[in-house]
A and B are shown apart, each in its own frame.
Chain A
Amino acid sequence: MASGSPDDSGRQAALPWTPGDVSESATEALQALDTYKKKDPSKVVVRFKAVGNAPIMRQNFYKITASNRFQAVIQFLRKELAWKAGDPLFTYINLAFSPAPDDTVSNLYKSFATEGHLIVNYSTTAAWG
């Protein structure tokens, strides 16, 4: 988390708790938390569908790691389409809405998968924006 940001004298280092600081239950809770923080290594099938006059992809099924953010899907799509930076490309789930770019593929898949696929529509103009 901490990056090349200015060094603030008041800042607290994010040290792990030392055993003297915490009760047994807090230790247990922190360990439990670690298991939920583990990234889901599984992959899910994302199916890209062009909308309007957006170019069609030769291959439109891809397996994408579930823990990726939707932003990574957008970047992947732009690369596959050889889309120029700055050229507009709008992405939607189920022809309905644009997810937040920081949402994970895993979350979107669990909530919106259709017949085992997460359907991502893409368009060169705002369609359901």
Chain B
Amino acid sequence: MSAYGTTRHHGQTSANSTPASTTLFRRLTWEGTVPLEIRVDSKELPANSDRGLECYYIQAPRVSYLPLLMPEIRRFLMDVVFDEAAGKMLKEEEWWFESEEGTLLKWHWPIGLIYDNHTISASIRPPSQTSTSHYNLQVTPLKLILHLASPPTEKLLLSPSAESCKQAYMGQLKEADFIRWGNTKRMTGLRKQDQDGIWEGIKEHNFDDYWRVASKIVPTTAPARSSSPPPSTNPSMHIRPPSADPQSAPDRDNAYNVRSVPVRLYLPDGPVMQDVVSPTLEDGSAHTLVHYLSTHLPLLFPPAPYSGPELAYAMMHGVLVPPDAEMAWLGACMAGADGWVSVCVGIAR
């Protein structure tokens, strides 16, 4: 990770003025996958099911959603596990997932977030015998129990259909847009085919299709003037001067010019915290992850000077993020496909 550096300051500028490093991190974020082990609740298996095979393993894209996996899971179960007649009786809209620990899995959370949230929640439970790593970040399948009936609708909040997942997703994109710019003009300005296209990009896990539309709403890390030398380490360069040329599109879309970065902070077993996260601090310097964490969770990330042991860690897309990463940069390069930077905090051991 550290070999790639943490700032926007290197890498060439490509034709569409997206720096190569930005594209690299966007691709790394997009290509991330997590292993899932899906097991049908043995008490709910229909009669005559093939009991030896009720487990299904899948390497799922982090940016995808559980309702999008359902056709594949269903196909497997129908082909291999369920008796044909019994399988036809099952209603897919009554299926729902639970973790091994009994946590309901939400239809509208990205799969990667479900996985990371499980990892940090495990960090406050007694260490299991198999965990040896300090952060317990080794990749093991997340074990899911698939129930075939009686969904706890009140707690799941949304129906399991791909359509309601899409609506929830669009809501998240719009909320992120509003956080960044104080309005949703970029989102509402998208044509219908683009709005559908961005969701298709997720459904088909197609990076290019997704970014063709997403680049119209997600800010860039491109320097404010294409002719200017690479930005110095002085972050104040990124603040829009009062008389900024309104025609300068890269400036208008610059990650360091947003009102606020869409960030949510996830703690083990909840809660989820969200408020205004400005890209720069009052002194003009960039707002870094370590500053953000020590402001919001000072008991877990004590502000400098602090020389005690590390109490907690911050993870995004399954990787530990360097403390000096800038919030604006994270918003442009490491946001999920829903536009949000999801910071998962676990307890260090």
A residues with a Cβ closer than 8 A to B are 1-3, 5-6, 8, 10-12, 14-15, 17-18, 21-23, 25-26, 28-30, 32-33, 35-37, 71, 93-94, 96-104, 107, 110-112, 128-129
Q: Interface residues of B toward A: which range?
A: 35 or more
B302 nearest in chain A by CB position: A32
19 contacts between A and B (CB under 8 A): A12-B126, A18-B126, A22-B349, A26-B347, A29-B347, A32-B312, A33-B267, A33-B347, A36-B297, A36-B300, A94-B178, A96-B174, A96-B178, A96-B183, A97-B174, A97-B178, A101-B158, A104-B272, A111-B260
State the Cβ distance, B73 to closest chain A Cβ, in Å. 19
Segment 47-78 of B: residues with Cβ below 8 Å from A: none
Q: How far is the CA of A33 from the CA of B272 in the complex (A)?
A: 12
Partner of B184, one of A11, A96, A99: A96
State the Cβ distance, B111 to closest chain A Cβ, in Å. 16
Chain B CB within 10 Å, residue with most, of A2, A94, A102: A102
Q: Give the chain B neighbours of A128 by CB distance below 8 A.
A: 174, 184, 188
Q: Give the chain A neighbours of B312 by CB distance below 8 A.
A: 29, 32
Instruction: Verify A107–B106 contact, CB threshold 8 A.
Output: no
Q: How far is the CA of A103 from the CA of B158 in the complex (A)?
A: 13
Instruction: Verify A100–B108 contact, CB threshold 8 A.
Output: yes
State the Cβ distance, B50 to closest chain A Cβ, in Å. 19
Q: How far is the CA of A62 from the CA of B349 in the complex (A)?
A: 44
The stretch of B163-171, B223-231, B282-290 in contact with A is B163-171
The stretch of B8-16, B79-87, B303-311 in contact with A is B303-311
Instruction: Verify B297–A98 contact, CB threshold 8 A.
Output: no
Dominant SS at the B interface?
A: loop
Q: How far is the CA of A56 from the CA of B108 in the complex (A)?
A: 31
Contact indicator per residue, chain B 151-180, by CB within 8 Å of chain A (1) or not (0): 000000110000000011011101101110
Segment 228-276 of B: residues with Cβ below 8 Å from A: 260, 264, 267-276
Q: How far is the CA of A18 from the CA of B175 in the complex (A)?
A: 42
Instruction: Verify A3–B275 contact, CB threshold 8 A.
Output: no
The stretch of B97-105, B213-221, B316-324 in contact with A is B97-105
Partner of B101, one of A2, A15, A37, A99: A2
Instruction: Verify A1–B103 contact, CB threshold 8 A.
Output: yes
Instruction: Verify B311–A100 contact, CB threshold 8 A.
Output: no
Known: A99-B175, A111-B179. A25 touches B184 (CB 8 A): no
Known: A11-B100, A35-B299, A129-B170. A110 touches B275 (CB 8 A): yes
Chain B CB within 10 Å, residue with most, of A15, A23, A32, A129: A32
Is B145's CB within 8 Å of the partner chain A?
yes
Is B348's CB within 8 Å of the partner chain A?
yes
Q: Give the chain A neighbours of B102 by CB distance below 8 A.
A: 1-3, 5, 11
Is B141's CB within 8 Å of the partner chain A?
no
B270 nearest in chain A by CB position: A37
State the Cβ distance, B160 to closest chain A Cβ, in Å. 14
Partner of A101, one of B43, B157, B184, B349: B157
Q: How far is the CA of A17 from the CA of B274 in the complex (A)?
A: 29
A38 nearest in chain B by CB position: B271
Instruction: Verify B274–A111 contact, CB threshold 8 A.
Output: yes
A17 nearest in chain B by CB position: B126
Instruction: Verify A102–B157 contact, CB threshold 8 A.
Output: yes
Q: Give the chain A neighbours of B273 by CB distance below 8 A.
A: 36, 107
Q: Give the chain A neighbours of B267 by CB distance below 8 A.
A: 33, 36-37
Instruction: Verify A15–B126 contact, CB threshold 8 A.
Output: yes
Q: Give the chain A neighbours of B157 by CB distance below 8 A.
A: 71, 101-102
Partner of A5, one of B145, B171, B179: B145
B39 nearest in chain A by CB position: A8
Is B200's CB within 8 Å of the partner chain A?
no
Instruction: Verify B171–A99 contact, CB threshold 8 A.
Output: yes
A11 nearest in chain B by CB position: B100
